Structure 1
Amino acid sequence: MLIDAERIPQEQKMESAAAQIYAIQAGLELGKKRGKKLMFARSAMAVLTASVLIAGLLFFNPTQLMPQQASTSIESSNWGVLEPFKKLASLDGDALTLESAIRNDYVQIVNKSAEKNGYKITLNAVIADENKIILLYTGTTSGGQEIYNVNSVWLTDAVTGQSVVDENGSRGGMGLHAVDSIYTWLGKTIYPLDKDKAFPKEVVANFQIASVDPGMLAKPKTGTDLADMRYSDRLKVSFAIDPKFWEQKTETVVINQPFMIDGHEVNLAQVELSPLSIVVKFTLSEALKTDWEIRNELFGKTPSELTSRVGKRELKNNSIGGSGSEDGFISNFSSNVLDQPKFIRLKLDAGPDREKEEYIDILKK
């Protein structure tokens, strides 16, 4: 049992979605008591996604790693060597970001592999900006082992061995089997970066693959018993990050435009625009900052529809999560900043505060 426990990374020891939901609720209560930072998920889907990441391989069928409510269509253009990842992207709420990066050649093709004892990992590509780094990778097995998932991905400085990701940020990931193959896994992992720190030139991506014996993957209870699992050794791929990713800095647009939600004034303070994310920041009055009941209600009703115009097309920038902050709320959206949109605007729904829909221009050229 101790040996099995050692094979599970620390971030994967949360055992169920219910436990994660409880942890979030507990965090809210702590915030109420201390009046500090408020952190919570925008929706049940966001909670479940976070739970999948933490729970790792236990208690989830591999198909549960894939969001089931995608609303972004993928361009029909050829993705070249990354074509196998198009299906994965079509299931991702943040697909617009990946699509925009590939379309604008904002990708570093790596195609380096590590292999040991019948397990192989290939780091296909890397995409980054000063806020986050995205890894696209392929895991394969031989000897009849069926891939359950790539259950662990670390990212470290090749020189110091220290993690290069922002410990205060939240990582995200998803994956699925390749077409007609239970021996090949296509994965995507996103790590937050601290843009105030210099990113190392040489990085090590450190993977572990989880698999099951032949015929086990189709059994309904597979994934609920640790004894069923087989694990690869740590598979390490080192690479030098392309300096082009640090050339385009985050653009901060100060807006300071108030609007109403249920009779309460909320201020659209600023927006951060970068190749891989659009971050919208809302602030509240001093009185509302500590009124936790109203804050919780307002958070669930903050505007979540962001659109941009590229050429003659108007695209939806999907909401990919949100959190509380000391001053108010933060909402994250997919980004197509690389496409140089003519405008980006936030929709305010009609309702008790407005007779008709209104828009706040975040960017207009």
Structure 2
Amino acid sequence: MLIDAERIPQEHKMESAAAQIYAIQAGLELGKKRGKNLMFAKSAMAVLTAAMMVAGLLFFNPSQLLPQQASTSIESSDWGVLEPFKKLADADVDALTLESAIRNDYVQIVNKSAEKDGYKITLNAVIADENKIMLLYTGTSSGGQEIYNVNSVWLTDAAGQSVVDKNGNRSGMGLHAEDSIYKWLGKTIYPLDKNKAFPKEVVANFQIASVDPGMLAKPNTGTNLADMRYSDRLKVSFAIDSKFWEQKTETIVLNQPFMIDGNKVNLAQVELSPLSIVVKYTLSEDLKTNWEIRNELFGKTPSELTSRVGKRELKNNSIGGSGSEDGFISNFSSNVLDHPKSIRLKLNAGPDREKDAYIDILKK
């Protein structure tokens, strides 16, 4: 029992929780940098409690709680050897990024495998830019073992140092392949610190969790540690294509004020890169330390971008956010590789405006 307990995938618990409850980051960031306020602390603790309830599940199978469907449907174009990952993208809130990368051939096909004792992992592809690395992989089992998930994915450089930034906020999702409980399709994203040298030679380190034949369909599977079986660590070494580091982030400074519930918020700047669009907001000095209002504003920051590519207009919903010392950060999927002619941030109608309004981020 103790041996099994040591193998509980702690990082996977946090990945699952973080993907669902990103607001906890705002509370932690603001609390560390600005001190404590009773109202804010209570609110932050409520979010923290919710996050811990999710993270505290003994096991979590992403196919049991998939993210909301992406804001645009997946293209019908041929994805080649990555065709199986269309099913994963259909359930991925960040599908727009993956679709755009594959459509623009911004992918490194790896197709390297590692296997032992009936478990096999294949690293299918890598997609990266200076802000993050995305892995697409397939886990399989034999001998009747039913895959529960790929419960742990580490990424280190050749020297054995973690590629993930010091906060460790990697994110991931996955589900079973079409009509197979013996094959798992997964995606894991690692944020990069732009102040550090980009990794070149890296090692992806996986662990597969499974259950005995017939167990996967039982309702209580995943609640009892003794039911679980684990592969040994399965390692795949590879070199990241240098083409990814040639795609630099474009920073657009806007300093465009707008209102949320009668409070002025400033759209400070937007960072555009192949795998993400990051929108940064700043607040006035008096609002920076008003934790109650900051909490309310954080939950009401604009959550939709629209971009025009040719004659098509694509909607792109926020996929997460966090607090910063001066305000907030919202993260969106990216179709920057499609060279959109315009990108606009939508301001919903409400107490501050009679009808929907837009702030132009990019206009060509």
**TM-score scaled by structure 2?**
0.90
Question: Which residue number corresponds to residue 114 of structure 1?
Answer: 114
In structure 2, C-alpha distance between the alignment counterparts of 1:275 and 1:29, rounded to whole Å: 29
Question: Which residue number corresponds to residue 206 of structure 1?
Answer: 205
Deviation at residue 65 of structure 1 after TM alignment: 4.6
Deviation at residue 61 of structure 1 after TM alignment: 4.2
In structure 1, C-alpha distance between the alignment counterparts of 2:16 and 2:82, rounded to whole Å: 33
- Determine if contact 2:252/2:271 at 8 Å carries over to the other structure: yes
In structure 1, C-alpha distance between the alignment counterparts of 2:95 and 2:78, rounded to whole Å: 15
Question: Which residue number corresponds to residue 232 of structure 2?
Answer: 233
In structure 1, C-alpha distance between the alignment counterparts of 2:316 and 2:16, rounded to whole Å: 30
In structure 2, C-alpha distance between the alignment counterparts of 1:163 and 1:101, rounded to whole Å: 25
- Determine if contact 2:30/2:324 at 8 Å carries over to the other structure: no
In structure 1, C-alpha distance between the alignment counterparts of 2:268 and 2:33, rounded to whole Å: 24
Question: Which residue number corresponds to residue 288 of structure 1?
Answer: 287
- Determine if contact 1:347/1:357 at 8 Å carries over to the other structure: yes
Residue identity opposite 2:133 in structure 1: I
Deviation at residue 16 of structure 1 after TM alignment: 9.8
In structure 2, C-alpha distance between the alignment counterparts of 1:198 and 1:110, rounded to whole Å: 22
**TM-score scaled by structure 1?**
0.90
- Determine if contact 2:124/2:138 at 8 Å carries over to the other structure: yes
- Determine if contact 2:29/2:324 at 8 Å carries over to the other structure: no
CA separation of 1:272 and 1:217: change in aligned 2, threshold 3 A: same
Question: Which residue number corresponds to residue 346 of structure 1?
Answer: 345
Residue identity opposite 1:118 in structure 2: G
- Determine if contact 1:164/1:199 at 8 Å carries over to the other structure: no
Instruction: Say which SS state the counterpart of residue 318 (structure 1) adopts.
Output: strand
Q: Does 1:172 align with 2:171?
A: yes
Question: Which residue number corresponds to residue 145 of structure 2?
Answer: 145
Deviation at residue 69 of structure 1 after TM alignment: 4.0
- Determine if contact 1:61/1:222 at 8 Å carries over to the other structure: no
Residue identity opposite 1:77 in structure 2: S
In structure 2, C-alpha distance between the alignment counterparts of 1:15 and 1:328, rounded to whole Å: 24
In structure 1, C-alpha distance between the alignment counterparts of 2:110 and 2:127, rounded to whole Å: 10
CA separation of 1:198 and 1:32: change in aligned 2, threshold 3 A: closer
Deviation at residue 348 of structure 1 after TM alignment: 1.0
- Between stretches 26-35 and 291-300, larger displacement belongs to 26-35
- Determine if contact 1:62/1:148 at 8 Å carries over to the other structure: no
Instruction: Say which SS state the counterpart of residue 85 (structure 2) adopts.
Output: helix
Question: Which residue number corresponds to residue 66 of structure 2?
Answer: 66
In structure 2, C-alpha distance between the alignment counterparts of 1:352 and 1:310, rounded to whole Å: 32
Instruction: Say which SS state the counterpart of residue 288 (structure 1) adopts.
Output: helix
In structure 1, C-alpha distance between the alignment counterparts of 2:237 and 2:300, rounded to whole Å: 44
In structure 2, C-alpha distance between the alignment counterparts of 1:275 and 1:103, rounded to whole Å: 12
In structure 2, C-alpha distance between the alignment counterparts of 1:62 and 1:259, rounded to whole Å: 37
In structure 2, C-alpha distance between the alignment counterparts of 1:35 and 1:258, rounded to whole Å: 27
Q: How big is each residue's C-alpha offset from its partner over 1:111-167, in whole Å with a ceiling of 9 and x where there is no partner?
A: 000000000000000000000000000000000000000000000012x11101112
Instruction: Say which SS state the counterpart of residue 222 (structure 1) adopts.
Output: coil
CA separation of 1:120 and 1:69: change in aligned 2, threshold 3 A: same
- Determine if contact 2:260/2:352 at 8 Å carries over to the other structure: yes
In structure 2, C-alpha distance between the alignment counterparts of 1:230 and 1:291, rounded to whole Å: 49
Q: Does 1:337 align with 2:321?
A: no
Deviation at residue 17 of structure 1 after TM alignment: 6.3
In structure 1, C-alpha distance between the alignment counterparts of 2:16 and 2:171, rounded to whole Å: 17
Instruction: Say which SS state the counterpart of residue 110 (structure 1) adopts.
Output: strand
Q: How big is each residue's C-alpha offset from its partner over 1:267-302, in whole Å with a ceiling of 9 and x where there is no partner?
A: 000000000000000000000000000111111111
Question: Which residue number corresponds to residue 34 of structure 1?
Answer: 35
Q: Pairwise CA RMSD of aligned residues?
A: 2.8
Q: How big is each residue's C-alpha offset from its partner over 1:37-87, in whole Å with a ceiling of 9 and x where there is no partner?
A: x9999xx9xx77x976x568x343452252244432100000000000001
Structure 1, unmatched stretches of 5+, are: none
- Determine if contact 1:15/1:55 at 8 Å carries over to the other structure: no
Residue identity opposite 2:5 in structure 1: A
CA separation of 1:354 and 1:92: change in aligned 2, threshold 3 A: same
Q: How big is each residue's C-alpha offset from its partner over 1:254-273, in whole Å with a ceiling of 9 and x where there is no partner?
A: 00010111111100000000
Give identity over the alignment, percent. Answer: 85
Runs of 4+ in 1 over 6 A off after TM superposition: 13-18, 38-41
Question: Which residue number corresponds to residue 194 of structure 1?
Answer: 193
- Between stretches 329-338 and 343-352, larger displacement belongs to 343-352
Deviation at residue 336 of structure 1 after TM alignment: 0.3
